[in-house]
Amino acid sequence: MVFHSEALDMERHDVDSLDSGSPELDIWLREQAAGAEARRVARTFVWVGSQRVDQVLGYYSLAGHRLVRSTLPSSVGHGSPSEIPAILLARLALDARLQGRGMGAALLADALTRIAIATRTVAARFVVVDARDDRAATFYEHFGFRRIPDSLRLVQKVSDIEALIPGE
């Protein structure tokens, strides 16, 4: 099956079909994603398959963000202004039926590619993730994100992401 992402459309997409194993992420998609979109505080993209394009198999939400350099380790914030533009990868969830098969990496790559393209128009230096737990933090670290000490916040430079994307 081939997957692709598209902007969430609550009238067209079956958000009730998603079962990520994390009820809070599933509930957020069903009950809050549309409101976040309407208030322009987050954009949500759903992952659908080629066989049933209305069935949501994963999603991620993106939002503008800013980091304060003084809250970052000097090795991360070095050379940045005191306030650093960033993109927050606010949520990322994959249906439990697809977990453990490398599909989480593909969904993350989809989100990071979208971010890299967006930063050609609106500048951002970092992608920020606030991991839900240590397991999620380890997942992001596997893909080059660096954990801020004593937290579940992780960051990665957009330039490092762009270097990994074919054709970028």
Domain spans, the chain:
3-164
| Annotated catalytic residue within 29, 140, 154, 158 | 140
> Which strands, in side-by-side order, build the sheet including 43-49?
3-7, 43-49, 56-68, 83-94, 126-130, 153-157, 146-147
3-164: CATH superfamily = Gcn5-related N-acetyltransferase (GNAT) (3.40.630.30)
Mean pLDDT, 10 residues at a time, the chain of 168 residues: 91 94 96 97 94 90 94 84 94 96 94 95 96 95 93 94 76
Mapped onto helix, strand or coil, the DSSP state of residue 33 is helix
- Would you call 140 a catalytic residue per the annotation? yes
For the stretch 30-58, pLDDT in tens is: 999 999 999 999 999 999 987 787 899 99
